[in-house]
């Protein structure tokens, strides 16, 4: 093996270990790969930066903007409401409607965007029919992933198509995935209907009781908040009088979280952190106070237990939110991000590990899937709804900011899809045209367009993109082809494709490889096609589909991570439900490649 090939192999191995280990952020690993490849002169400077202008990056960026436009105008919200009306009460019918809704929506938008739209609707559906959300959320995730396998608009599919284009071959089109993808959707739905639903756990995590409009007190009981509610009198001469909530340091000094103030007989719900507390006020608070501390600061606890309804009186309301998988806040604390000051919302409790945390959660580093019970005005909740770091587990009607643009947004989305299917222009150009049309027509603002983009995914793809070039230019691709051929006992195309599909599936589930795995494996697939005179489009199709076989682990796809906390799932739950499904999909994919791609 040549020195450039050895260096490329070393860089690839180290990057893979870092991605699996999670010691560094994935986007940082990608940028390190880009820089090291360029400095080592394994690729030219132009090749090192080519990923930022790749069709994959442009398409994903544009699709994110279009999806945000559809959401801002209420199109996707209406789809969620329609799903509720169709579902009815039967367990099987619920499962079918949820999975088909996920599969259908993911045909037209990025999988993560589809999940962000459908998660609140599915949580509301579970509450309405009084079943554990764990019975619906994993099927929803599997439906979204399966639907993505039937369209070009999935990250791994876009990368595979772009790799073909860059290599001088005809790229994969929008309809190329349908002949294999639709049978995959059918098999996934039938499996979950006949087998998978019997393997799903029945758990009632925090989200089950988040009855946003009708049963708010049940939410308080689920978080066991009623036992930690107190009314506190601010006595004359109190050290807390005349200070704002923030200046008084209520949470740190008294271990109490101020969620309301009664002044002159009027309750002020969800007060801002800069609100002054006066002598004679009665503070509604949550926490575990000490009598000695109360005396020290001139405060007195009322013996009577406050009514839970006070938490949501007036303009205040409750919501339960979870941290999104691409959030910039992972590893930071509620105190570090100044949650209350930024959103004018009060965090009442944190849900982690199947139980609520009332005390000390403000200094706990946040994890993906953590549930936060927040209180505040509906207008402030709307601001949080637009924050890309969080997903609200309940429909927020005010999140539909431009309903008067709904028809226009729907028309733009349909025209964009139709032109993309027709193939008159490249997918990246058509998608960008649709995104620009959304902004120009006022379906969303330019700032909202920027906020809608998952920049981590953009930098991950752009950073890992040069690795594909280095694998080919250094000769490592040819070396790996020979190793792969030697590992297979025969040079039969069926064995090679099966092995390639298996390797892709494994890497996807240990690397969260919706971007990294296809970028690394695409040049290998092209090299195998050259060495065996196989159809490169067929092999890249196999790699793209293998990257979506993300059912056995929560790490395989971001949508699995999203539902893990909300559904109360464990790693073992995904393995128990997903491993057999993955085995069943192998022959489905191989048969599809045989009949439609000449395998």
Find which of 218-227, 276-285, 351-360, 382-391 is predicted with most confidence, using mean pLDDT: 276-285
Distance CA 260, CA 282 (A): 8
Backbone dihedral angles phi then psi of residue 313, each to the nearest 5 degrees: -75, 165
Burial of 509 (0-12, 13-18, 19+ CB in 10 A): buried
pLDDT level of residue 438 (50, 70, 90 thresholds)? very high
Closest CA relative to residue 522, chosen from 507, 510, 509, 533 = 507
Tens of pLDDT, residue by residue over 4-16, are: 888 888 888 888 7
Q: Say whether pLDDT at 515 is over 70.
A: no
Q: Say whether pLDDT at 212 is over 50.
A: no
Q: Which residue has the higher pLDDT, 433 or 15?
A: 433
What pLDDT was estimated at residue 207?
A: 39
Distance CA 415, CA 355 (A): 47
Q: Say whether pLDDT at 439 is over 60.
A: yes
Least confident of 35-44, 111-120, 283-292, 586-595: 111-120
The answer to whether the CB of 593 falls within 8 A of the CB of 534 is no
- CA quadruple 252, 256, 257, 263: dihedral sign: negative
Rg (alpha carbons) of the chain, rounded to whole number? 26
Q: Tell me the β-bridge partners of 371.
A: 322, 351
- Mean pLDDT in the chain? 80
Distance CA 589, CA 576 (A): 21
Helix runs in 406-475, H state only = 406-422, 427-440, 446-452, 455-473
Tens of pLDDT, residue by residue over 392-419, are: 765 444 445 677 888 898 899 888 877 8
pLDDT level of residue 186 (50, 70, 90 thresholds)? very high
Tens of pLDDT, residue by residue over 77-95, are: 676 567 767 776 667 888 9
The reply to whether the predicted model has a pTM over 0.95 is no
What pLDDT was estimated at residue 144?
A: 92
Q: How many CA atoms lie within 13 A of 112 on its CB side?
A: 27
Q: Which domains does the chain have, with CATH numbers?
A: 10-205+413-597 (no CATH), 225-312 (3.30.70.1450), 316-399 (3.30.70.1450)
Q: Say whether pLDDT at 76 is over 80.
A: no
Tens of pLDDT, residue by residue over 528-585, are: 887 777 888 998 999 889 988 989 877 677 777 667 766 778 777 888 899 999 999 9
> What percentage of the chain exceeds 90 in pLDDT?
15
Tens of pLDDT, residue by residue over 482-503, are: 676 666 546 678 888 888 888 8
Could you give the 3-state DSSP secondary structure of residue 79? Answer: helix
Where b means 16+ CB within 10 Å and e means fewer, 487-508 reads: eeeeeebeebbbebbebbbebb
> What percentage of the chain exceeds 70 in pLDDT?
82
Closest CA relative to residue 206, chosen from 117, 287, 127, 320 = 320
What pLDDT was estimated at residue 154?
A: 81
Distance CA 230, CA 224 (A): 13
What pLDDT was estimated at residue 208?
A: 38
Closest CA relative to residue 486, chosen from 494, 496, 477 = 496
Tens of pLDDT, residue by residue over 14-66, are: 887 786 666 887 778 889 989 999 998 888 888 888 888 877 678 778 877 88
114: which 2 tokens?
């589809």
What Å distances lie between residue 73 and 288, 412, 441, CA to CA?
A: 43, 12, 12
pLDDT level of residue 590 (50, 70, 90 thresholds)? very high
Distance CA 386, CA 366 (A): 19
The answer to whether the CB of 133 falls within 8 A of the CB of 175 is no
């Amino acid at each position: 093996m040549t020195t450039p090939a050895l260096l490329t192999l070393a860089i690839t191995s180290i990057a893979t270990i870092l991605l699996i280990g999670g010691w560094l952020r994935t986007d940082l690993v990608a940028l390190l790969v880009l820089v090291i490849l360029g400095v080592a002169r394994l690729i030219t400077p132009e090749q090192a930066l080519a990923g930022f202008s790749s069709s994959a990056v442009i398409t994903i960026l544009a699709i994110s903007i279009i999806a945000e436009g559809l959401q801002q105008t209420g199109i996707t919200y209406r789809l969620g409401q329609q799903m509720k009306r169709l579902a009815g009460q039967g367990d099987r019918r619920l499962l079918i409607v949820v999975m088909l809704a996920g599969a259908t929506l993911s045909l037209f938008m990025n999988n993560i965007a589809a999940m962000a739209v459908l998660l609140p609707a599915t949580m509301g559906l579970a509450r309405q029919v009084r079943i554990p959300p764990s019975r619906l959320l994993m099927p929803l995730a599997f439906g979204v992933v399966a639907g993505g396998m039937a369209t070009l608009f999935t990250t791994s599919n876009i990368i595979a198509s772009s790799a073909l284009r860059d290599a001088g071959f005809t790229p994969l089109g929008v309809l190329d995935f349908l002949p294999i993808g639709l049978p995959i959707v059918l098999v996934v739905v039938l499996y979950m209907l006949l087998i998978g639903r019997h393997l799903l756990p029945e758990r009632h995590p925090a989200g089950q009781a988040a009855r946003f409009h009708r049963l708010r007190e049940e939410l308080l009981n689920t978080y066991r908040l009623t036992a930690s509610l107190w009314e506190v009198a601010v006595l004359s001469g109190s050290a807390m009088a005349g200070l704002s909530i923030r200046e008084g340091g209520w949470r740190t000094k008294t271990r109490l979280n101020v969620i309301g103030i009664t002044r002159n007989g009027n309750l002020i719900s969800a007060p801002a952190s800069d609100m002054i507390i006066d002598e004679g006020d009665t503070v509604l608070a949550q926490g575990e106070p000490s009598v000695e501390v109360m005396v020290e600061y001139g405060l007195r606890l009322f013996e009577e237990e406050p009514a839970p309804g006070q938490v949501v009186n007036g303009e205040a309301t409750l919501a339960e939110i979870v941290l999104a998988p691409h959030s910039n806040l992972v590893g930071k604390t509620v105190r570090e991000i100044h949650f209350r000051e930024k959103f004018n919302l009060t965090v009442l409790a944190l849900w982690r590990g199947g139980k609520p945390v009332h005390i000390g959660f403000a200094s706990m580093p946040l994890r993906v899937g953590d549930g936060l019970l927040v209180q505040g005005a509906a207008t402030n909740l709307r601001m949080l709804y637009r924050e890309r770091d969080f997903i609200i587990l309940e429909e927020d009607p005010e999140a539909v900011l431009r309903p008067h643009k709904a028809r226009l947004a729907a028309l733009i989305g349909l025209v964009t899809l139709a032109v993309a299917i027709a193939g008159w222009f490249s997918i990246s150009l058509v998608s960008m045209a649709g995104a620009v049309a959304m902004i120009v027509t006022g379906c969303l603002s330019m700032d909202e367009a920027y906020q809608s983009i998952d920049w981590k995914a953009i930098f991950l793809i752009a950073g890992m993109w040069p690795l594909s070039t280095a694998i080919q230019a250094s000769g490592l691709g040819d070396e790996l082809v020979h190793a792969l051929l030697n590992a297979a006992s025969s040079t039969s195309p069926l064995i090679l494709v099966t092995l390639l599909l298996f390797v892709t599936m494994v890497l996807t589930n240990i690397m969260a490889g919706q971007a990294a795995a296809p970028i690394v494996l695409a040049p290998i697939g092209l090299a195998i096609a050259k060495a065996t005179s196989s159809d490169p489009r067929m092999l890249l199709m196999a790699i793209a589909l293998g990257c979506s076989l993300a059912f056995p682990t929560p790490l395989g796809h971001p949508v699995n991570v999203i539902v893990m906390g909300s559904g109360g799932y464990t790693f073992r739950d995904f393995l128990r439900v997903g491993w057999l499904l993955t085995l069943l999909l192998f022959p489905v994919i191989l048969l599809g490649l045989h009949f439609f791609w000449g395998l």
